């Protein structure tokens, strides 16, 4: 193992305290720090030290693919790391968004010569594990529940949306289409009417909170079609292809297939392609958005996902505990979430503090984790 230096993305919704505080840097940071990328995605590749020079992990994979990835992964994914590990800190809502499946991504990338929607030909399923209490919107809820929530605002203009939802899951597409196609000149008025209503309860609170940041965005109402979940630390949400979702606030560890394909559906000043989003979305009710950890060994848990691009394990150690041995093959990225830890793959031994990370190649042996703290270990599910 060797130290891995991640790249911080300064998106406007990021926190100025969470990542800096975890890493022991001055708080508040000079600007928003939204995500710490720990992978080889070309958008912000992490790096390792080579003779005092920072070398991109992407370049190392291309130069020595079988050493870093192993023959099996090279045959399956080529010379790229198939997963991307992130530390995410949201201090304001992210956009409502969805990601394409593998077939949609390949076709979209081939057709989208201007790269307006598709920046790579890969899918982007995601798993987020909460480090703090974490608020998110994830997946369509029962449309009857959504219809009642929207009807409670008493806004006559929303009657067609309510009527579409009353037809059941089949009406979800029409409800989303109506809202995202709302005339630009009438959007601020629609949100103002929603806010002027005397409705109360969690849905009204959510609408008011979102409208504070997006007072002329119909995504405020689209959000009422989704599950609003509040994760406790250690709980997770799984976001498969076609799942409409948005992070609202909190800090978490996120792992995903290494792609940056995002189709937005509101709560954003960025481009929204309604037709393409409607083509990608899966208009079905998500039964249970929260994923709970599954123990696999003393002090070790995982969150099973139905893809082979990635897997995530958490190791929790107390002072005096013996080292944990993880027989996880393939390249590994380890993030220290708390405490002080050592990680050793038989090739190199690294000490990590909070917010620091290490990377090891496929040539390494079983991973030994020691110390007192919490480690998040990212691997490929197909290794």
Would you name the residues annotated as active-site residues? Answer: 264
Residue 350 · residue 4 · CB < 8 Å: no
Tokens of 344: 């050793």
Q: What is the DSSP string of 289-351?
A: -EE--EEEETTEEE---S-SS-EEEEEEE-TTPPPEEE---S-EEEEEEEEEEEEE-SS-EEE
Task: DSSP letter for 190, please.
Answer: H
Return d(Cα 265, Cα 268) in angstroms, integer: 8
Return d(Cα 189, Cα 34) in angstroms, integer: 31
Which stretch of DSSP H or E encloses residue 196?
A: helix 184-196
Residue 54 · residue 47 · CB < 8 Å: yes
Residue 13 · residue 32 · CB < 8 Å: yes
Q: First CA to last CA across the chain, in angstroms?
A: 17
Residue 171 · residue 164 · CB < 8 Å: yes
Residue 16 · residue 346 · CB < 8 Å: no
Bridge partners of residue 89, in order along the sequence: 251
Cβ burial, residue 350 (10 Å; 0-12/13-18/19+) = buried
Return d(Cα 177, Cα 149) in angstroms, integer: 18
Q: What is the DSSP string of 48-113?
A: EEETTEEEEHHHHHHHSHHHHH-HHHHHHH-SS-SEEEEEEEESSPPPPEE---HHHHHHHHHH-T
Return d(Cα 4, Cα 97) in angstroms, integer: 29
């Amino acid at each position: 193992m060797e130290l891995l230096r991640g790249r911080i993305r300064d998106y406007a919704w990021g926190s100025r305290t969470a990542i800096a505080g975890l890493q022991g840097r001055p708080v508040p940071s000079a600007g928003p720090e939204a995500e710490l990328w720990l992978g080889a995605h070309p958008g912000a590749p992490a790096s390792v030290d080579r003779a005092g020079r920072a070398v991109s992990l992407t370049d190392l994979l291309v130069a020595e693919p079988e050493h870093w990835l192993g023959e099996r992964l090279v045959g399956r994914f080529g010379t790229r790391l198939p997963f991307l590990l992130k530390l995410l800190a949201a201090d304001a809502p992210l956009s409502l968004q969805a990601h394409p499946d593998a077939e949609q991504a390949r076709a979209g990338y081939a057709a989208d010569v201007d790269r307006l929607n598709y920046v790579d030909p890969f899918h982007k399923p995601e798993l987020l594990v909460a480090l703090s209490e974490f608020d998110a919107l994830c997946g369509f809820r029962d449309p009857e529940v959504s219809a009642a929530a929207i009807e409670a605002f008493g806004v006559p203009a929303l009657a067609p949306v309510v009527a579409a939802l009353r037809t059941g899951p089949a009406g979800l597409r029409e409800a989303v289409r109506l809202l995202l196609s709302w005339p630009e000149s009438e959007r601020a008025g629609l949100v103002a009417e929603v806010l002027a209503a005397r409705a109360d309860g969690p849905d009204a609170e959510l609408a008011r909170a979102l409208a504070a940041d997006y007072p002329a965005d119909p995504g405020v109402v689209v959000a009422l079609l989704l599950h609003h979940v509040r994760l406790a630390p250690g709980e997770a949400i799984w976001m498969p292809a076609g799942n409409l979702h948005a992070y609202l606030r909190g800090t978490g560890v996120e792992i995903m297939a290494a792609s940056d394909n995002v189709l937005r559906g509101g709560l954003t000043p960025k481009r929204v392609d309604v037709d393409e989003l409607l083509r990608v979305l899966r208009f079905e009710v998500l039964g249970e958005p929260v994923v709970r950890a599954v123990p696999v060994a003393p002090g070790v848990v995982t969150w099973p996902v139905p893809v082979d691009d990635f897997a995530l394990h958490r190791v929790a150690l107390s002072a005096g505990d013996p080292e944990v041995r993880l027989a996880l093959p393939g390249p590994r990225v380890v993030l220290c979430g708390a405490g002080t830890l050592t990680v050793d793959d038989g090739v190199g031994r690294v000490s990590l503090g909070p917010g620091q990370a290490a990377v090891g190649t496929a040539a390494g042996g079983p991973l030994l984790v020691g110390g007192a703290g919490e480690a998040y270990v990212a691997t490929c599910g197909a290794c």
